[in-house]
Amino acid sequence: MATIESILQENRVFPPANEFVKHANVAGMEAYQALCQEAERDYTGFWARLAKQYISWHKPFTRVFDDSNLPFYKWFDDGELNVSWNCLDRHLTTQGDKTAIIFESDEGETVRCSYRELHQQVCRFANALKSRGVQQGDRVVIYMPMRIEAVVAMQACARIGAIHSVVFGGFSAKSVHQRIVDAKAVAVITADEQTRGGKHHPLKVTVDKALALGDTDSVHSVIVLQHTHADIVWHSERDHWWHDITADQPDTCEPTWVNAEHPLFILYTSGSTGKPKGVQHSSAGYLLGTITSMQWVFDYQPNDIFWCTADVGWVTGHSYVTYGPLAIGATQIIFEGVPTYPHAGRFWEIIQKHKVTTFYTAPTAIRSLIKLGVDLPKQYDLSSLRLLGSVGEPINPEAWMWYYTTVGQSRCPVVDTWWQTETGSHIIAPIPGAIAAKPGSCTLPLPGIDVAAIDEAGQPIKEGKGGFLVIKRPFPSLLRTLWNDPERFKNTYFPTDVAGGRYYLSGDSAHCDRDGYFWVMGRVDDVLNVSGHRLGTMEIESALVAHPLVAEAAVVGKPHEIKGESIVAFVVLRKELPDKEEAIKIAATLREWVASEIGAIARPEEIRFGENLPKTRSGKIMRRLLRTLAKGEAITQDTSTLENPAILEQLNQAV
């Protein structure tokens, strides 16, 4: 591919505060560089050291890295461990009474669960799974509300060596069915219903529908958590209440020791760019990535109250709810509800109530919270916060600034973490006690991670231009394959037409500035080609979001006879939807704004307004659908991961 042009100038820099550096796990640039140099000198030795330091092994490994059959690599592959033992048992003697989870329900009640109690719950449920005949290597689909039991179910699978596949509770019967069939699951764990934002949503009914779609004979057990006491249909030969099958189980359970490479879980990607991929992760390598990133990026301190708002249905909820915080012995919040119920200040209220220190959320949440009240956070006591994080999409510099100044009160570092379902843990992110932040940049790669922006031939791209964002060496927490589909794994991530298939291809484009900072420019598939200029989506969208009227924006290309492509922008305003006359005026203002902010080449030809944008259920903008709308064509792509189908209709109205 030709390179991508960078047109956005962002010169603000925020170095770490001295006060923060003093107590940081990685304190100062030299400490960061020392780690990077250690990895450069002896790549496998570096990871071996960390794996010995942070993981408790049942049988220590002697082999570190096996690259004899690339792209199928292995790490620590003659070692044995149990991930649940690492998350629970090893804390019992040192801090059994420490709170592991502070659960905040949709309606605002709080339940606290210590490491000892969580251990007992996991053991009881693990024994129950065994009593149902679930064995090591079996696949178990988990379709649960965001409650403590979701973590218990995942940890219990890990404890007995069963491979979980969590399906987000908002997905349809069709998605659940597809995941059951793909994995030939033996059991499904669910609840009668889930409650979010004061509303009840069926889960068990959806599982019943999924199982009725056929090809599901592999499933011998459906285990149901009783939550809302809703009326549900019962299939007595197949269905079991959670409370019944755990009632008489002992509260200890010897963990099943598994090989380091044993698959811990399968998880499907968000489906922003196409059909979701069944990403398969290892046990040890994955666990290690979650722990090192908790240490480095979240700068974990023993008194932290850690809150990652992601649902366990996404990789962020796997790595930074179920595994990372527990493996490191943290206290964390699990929140069942939504940011806007019962009021728009709910997130801030929870931070105040539980004295949250570390808050990790997504740009989509940040942008919608700005829309709901720019000054709302100021009504709450957020003085407990010491670190803020962002994940899921590029964060537009203006949204970053709001997060930093209004939520973090210009005191808390913001860590913009770039990573993917496939990478298992953070890849590029500012280590907060070491690296100065620049709004909109995920900054520098973590120690031991070798990333670059390259062209097709594999050559690094010079400053100011973007290219393929690749990872040059497999590291421990990188996916091992796509479940059941090694060919798709090879073709998707190591295609021979980019750098001869030597590097892991992320699918994102990025550029690197003179300080070596990375700026993610969007998806490679979304790059626009306007009059011979190749432009990423992120910079144009960020220019739009920088206008005080705009809450969110997505840009796509539309075929144009002369220019090749013209730019169509879909915009959500901070105020309500404008009428036709006003829309024309605002569109004209915004077109000129973009032209003056970043150049005439980026001026949108057409602007359409909506109350929202089409998003995946994890909150990411689905530009591929907007591209079809911009062309005026009917949507025929996979929309199973789309959150809000009605919005397509609204955006279809041209200005």
Chain residues that interact with Mg ion, rule: CB under 5 A: 269
For the CB of residue 186, give the shortest distance to ligand ATP in the complex, in Å: 26
Show Cβ contacts of residue 212 under 8 Å, excluding neighbours closer than 6 positions.
Answer: none
550 is in an annotated binding site: yes
Measured from the CB atom, the residue of 169 and 394 that comes closer to ligand ATP is: 394
Strand partners, 387: 358
Kindly state the smallest distance separating residue 506's Cβ from Mg ion, in Å. 8
Q: Is 365 left (phi over 0), alpha (psi -120 to 50) or beta?
A: alpha
Closest distance between ligand ATP and the C-beta of residue 507, in Å?
Answer: 6
| Residue 620 partner contact from ligand ATP, Mg ion, none using kind-dependent CB cut-offs of 5 to 8 Å | ligand ATP
| Residue pair 359/388 in contact by the 8 Å Cβ criterion | yes
Per CB under 6 A, does 331 bind ligand ATP? no
Residue 345 binds: one of Mg ion, ligand ATP, none (C-beta under 5 to 8 A by kind): none
Report the alpha-carbon distance of residue 312 to residue 303 in Å, rounded.
23
Smallest gap, in angstroms, from Cβ of residue 522 to ligand ATP? Answer: 7
Q: Determine, following the binding rule CB under 6 A, whether residue 280 of this chain makes contact with ligand ATP.
A: no
- In 462-579, alpha helices (H): 486-493, 537-545
Kind of pairing, strands 358-361 and 305-308?
Answer: parallel
Q: Which is nearer to ligand ATP, 202 or 536 (CB)?
A: 536
Cα–Cα distance for residue pair 544/537, rounded to 1 Å = 11
Which residue lies nearer to ligand ATP by CB, 256 or 273? 273
Residues 379-418 binding ligand ATP (CB under 6 A) are 391-394, 416-418
Tokens of 181: 């069939």
**Residue with Cβ nearer Mg ion (178 or 331):** 178
Instruction: Figure out which of the listed residues 169, 255, 271, 377 binds ligand ATP, where binding follows CB under 6 A.
Output: 271
Q: Is residue 46 part of the contact set for ligand ATP (CB under 6 A)? A: no
Say whether 523 counts as a known binding-site residue: yes
DSSP type of residue 177: H
Q: Which is nearer to ligand ATP, 216 or 628 (CB)?
A: 628
When CB distances are held under 5 to 8 angstroms depending on the partner's kind, the choice from ligand ATP, Mg ion, none that residue 417 binds is: ligand ATP
DSSP secondary structure string for all residues of 286-352: HHHHHHHHHHHTS---TT-EEEE---TTSHHHIIIIIIHHHHTT-EEEEE-S-TTSSSTTHHHHHHH
Cβ-based nearer residue to ligand ATP, 80 or 508 = 508
Is the previous residue joined to 474 through a cis bond, with omega within 30 degrees of 0? Answer: no
Supply the minimum distance, in Å, between the C-beta of residue 342 and Mg ion: 34
Which partner from the list ligand ATP, Mg ion, none does 416 bind, CB cut-off 5 to 8 Å by kind? ligand ATP
The Cα-based distances of 133 to 158, 187, 242, 620 in angstroms read 15, 10, 15, 38
Q: Which residue has the tokens 């809302």?
A: 228
> Phi and psi of 114, rounded to 5°?
-80, 170
442 lies in the site for ligand ATP, by CB under 6 A: yes
Among 382, 520, 540, 602, the residue binding ligand ATP under the rule CB under 6 A is: 520
Which partner in ligand ATP, Mg ion, none is near 367 (CB below 5 to 8 A by kind)? none
Residue 416 half-sphere exposure toward CB, CA atoms < 13 A: 26
Task: Tell whether 353 is in a known binding site.
Answer: no
Question: Which amino acid, 276?
Answer: P
Residue 28 CB, nearest distance to Mg ion (Å)?
34
Q: Is 419 annotated as a binding residue?
A: yes
Least distance between ligand ATP and beta carbon 321 (Å): 15
- Least CB distance to ligand ATP at residue 414 (A): 11
197 is in an annotated binding site: yes
Shortest CB 537 distance to ligand ATP, Å:
10
User: Which range touches ligand ATP (CB under 6 A), out of 57-65, 132-140, 219-227, 265-273?
Assistant: 265-273
Asked whether 103 and 91 are in contact (CB, 8 A), the reply is no
425 binds ligand ATP per the rule CB under 6 A: no
The distance of closest approach from Cβ of residue 528 to ligand ATP in the complex, given in angstroms and rounded to an integer, is 16
Query: Rg of the chain's alpha carbons, rounded to an integer?
Result: 24
In angstroms, the CA 45 to CA 189 distance is: 40
b/e sequence 500-513, b meaning 16+ C-beta within 10 Å: ebebbbbbbbbbbe
The answer to whether 483 is a known ligand-binding residue is: no
Q: Which does 393 bind (CB under 5 to 8 A by kind): ligand ATP, Mg ion, none?
A: ligand ATP
* Residue 620 in contact with ligand ATP, rule: CB under 6 A: yes
Of 513, 461, 390, nearest in space to 12 by CA: 513
Judged by CB under 6 A, the chain residues 300 through 319 that form the site for ligand ATP are 315
- Give the CA count within 13 Å in the CB-facing half-sphere of 151: 34
- 134 annotated as ligand-binding: no
Please say which residue, 88 or 315, places its beta carbon nearer to Mg ion. 315
Q: Exposure string (b/e) for 228-243, b if CB count within 10 Å is 16 or more?
A: beeebeeeeeebbebe
Residue 650's Cβ-count burial label (10 Å; 0-12, 13-18, 19+) is middle
Alpha carbon separation from 545 to 59, 450, 573, 643 (Å, rounded)? 52, 32, 9, 22
How many residues in the shown chain lie near ligand ATP by CB under 6 A? 26
Instruction: Indicate the residue among 102 and 510 with the shorter CB distance to Mg ion.
Output: 510
Contact predicate 121/152, CB 8 Å: yes
Q: Tell whether 198 is in a known binding site.
A: yes
- Is 343 marked as a binding-site residue? no
- Cβ 267 to ligand ATP shortest distance, Å: 9
Q: Choosing among Mg ion, ligand ATP, none, which partner's interface includes residue 239 (Cβ < 5 to 8 Å by kind)?
A: none
Pairing status of strand 358-361 against strand 387-390: parallel
Residue 9: phi, psi to the nearest 5? Answer: -105, 125
Of Mg ion, ligand ATP, none, which one sits near residue 3, judging by CB under 5 to 8 A according to partner kind?
none
246 binds, among ligand ATP, Mg ion, none (CB under 5 to 8 A by kind): none
CB neighbour list of residue 592: distance below 8 Å, 6 or more residues apart = 603
Q: Does 420 bind ligand ATP (CB under 6 A)?
A: yes
Footprint on this chain of ligand ATP (rule: CB under 6 A):
269-274, 276-277, 315, 391-394, 416-418, 420-421, 442, 506-508, 520, 523, 618, 620
Residues flagged as binding site for CoA: 196-199, 316, 531
Residues flagged as binding site for ATP: 392-394, 416-421, 508, 523, 534
Residues flagged as binding site for Mg(2+): 545, 547, 550
Residues flagged as binding site: 196-199, 316, 392-394, 416-421, 508, 523, 531, 534, 545, 547, 550
